[in-house]
Structure 1
Amino acid sequence: MSGARSSASNWPGRRLGLPEAGSRSLARPGRRFAAIAIDWGIAVGVSVVFFDYDPLATLAIFAVAQAVVLITTNGSIGHLLLGMRVVPLAGGYLGLWRPLARTILVCLVIPAVIWDADQRGMHDRLIGTVLVRR
C-alpha cells in the first residue's frame, strides 16, 4: 500500500521543489505541445506572407520570435497565451544567454523531445530552466 501511496504523491516537478498543481507547477505536455504549435503556426503564417513559405525563413522567424519574446517576457507567444513561463530553476533573472541557448536547442528538435522523469526537456535541463504555469 505504501508503494501505491508514494507513486501517487510523486508528481512531475516534485523533485525540483515545484507544487503538484497551480501557479509555478510544471507545465504539462499538452499545453507545451499546443504552445509550440501556436509559435510554429505564427512563424509559418509570416513565412507564407513574406517569404513564399521558405523553410529556412520559417525556422529563422520561429527562432527570432522565440528568443526575443523569451528575453522580454519569459515565455514565447504560445507559452504566454496558454499561461506558462520559462524560469531559471535556481530562481533569479532568465538573462540573455538562457533564452538564446534554449532557442537554439529547441530549433535542433532532438533536445526538446528527450524528457526526464520530471517531464523537463533536455534543452531545459542543459540550461537550468523549467517551464511552469503562471
Structure 2
Amino acid sequence: MDKRQAIGSWLSGPQAAAEDLLGADFGYRGERLGLPREGPGSVAPTGRRIGAVFIDWMLCLLIGYGLLSGDGMSSAGNWALLVFGVMSLLLVGTLGFTPGKRLLGLRVVSVQGGRLTFPRAALRTALLLLFIPAVVWDRDARGLHDRLAHAVQVRM
C-alpha cells in the first residue's frame, strides 16, 4: 500500500477503510433496523437532529429566562435544563417529537415500530440530559440514549 492510499483510508474513516481493505459491506444507516434508505421513515440526518436540539434549547432558554424572578442570567440555564427535560419527556413520550423536531420534520419512534412508550421516553430523556450518551453514536447514527431506549429518530 502506498502512502496516499494509507492516508486516504485514514482520512475517510474506519468504515471506509474496512470496506476498501477488507471488502466489508456496512450498508446504509438504518438498514439493520429495517428502515428505508431515504424518505419518510428513514434515519434522520445529523444536521437536522442538531438543528432540532438547538431550536428546543433556545425555546427552553426563553422559557427559563421568563421563569426568573431577578435571580440573574446564570440561573436561566438551570431552569432551561429543567424545562428541556420536562418538555422532552412529555412531548416525546406522548407525541413522539419536540417543537424543534416537529419544525424540522423529525419523530422519535420505537425500533420495533410505533410510538415510543413513556418509560422508554423517560430513560431516553434522563440519558439525554447527561449529554455524553447523545454524542456516542452507533453505525445507524443513533446516540447511546436512543440505543438504550430502543428508539430511533426518523424523518416524518
- What TM-score do you get using the length of structure 2 for normalisation? 0.77
Aligned residues: 131
Residue of structure 1 in register with 2:92 after alignment: 70
Amino acid at match of 2:148: L
Residue of structure 1 in register with 2:112 after alignment: 90
Q: Give unmatched runs, 5+ long, in structure 2.
A: 1-18
Deviating above 6 A after TM superposition, structure 1's stretches of 4 or more consecutive aligned residues are: none
Residue of structure 2 in register with 1:22 after alignment: 39
Amino acid at match of 2:103: L
Counterparts of 2:58 and 2:117, CA distance in 1: 26
Q: Give unmatched runs, 5+ long, in structure 1.
A: none
Residue of structure 1 in register with 2:136 after alignment: 114
Amino acid at match of 2:40: S
Which of 115, 123, 130 aligns to 1:101? It is 123
**Is the 2:109–2:116 contact (alpha carbons within 8 Å) kept by the matching residues of 1?**
yes
Amino acid at match of 1:31: R
Instruction: Indicate whether 1:125 and 2:142 are aligned.
Output: no
Counterparts of 2:80 and 2:108, CA distance in 1: 23
- What TM-score do you get using the length of structure 1 for normalisation? 0.89
Whose RCO is larger (CA < 8 A, sep 6+)? 1
* Alpha-carbon distance, 1:47 to partner: 1.1
- How high is the sequence identity, in percent, across the aligned residues? 39
Residue of structure 1 in register with 2:16 after alignment: none
Deviates more, 1:32-41 or 1:61-70: 61-70
The aligned runs of 1:28-43 (5 Å cut-off) are 28-43=45-60
Over the aligned positions, Cα root-mean-square deviation in angstroms equals 1.8
- What secondary structure, in the 3-state scheme, does the structure 1 residue paired with 2:29 have? coil
Q: Deviations over 1:104-126 (max 9, x none)?
A: 11110000000011111011110
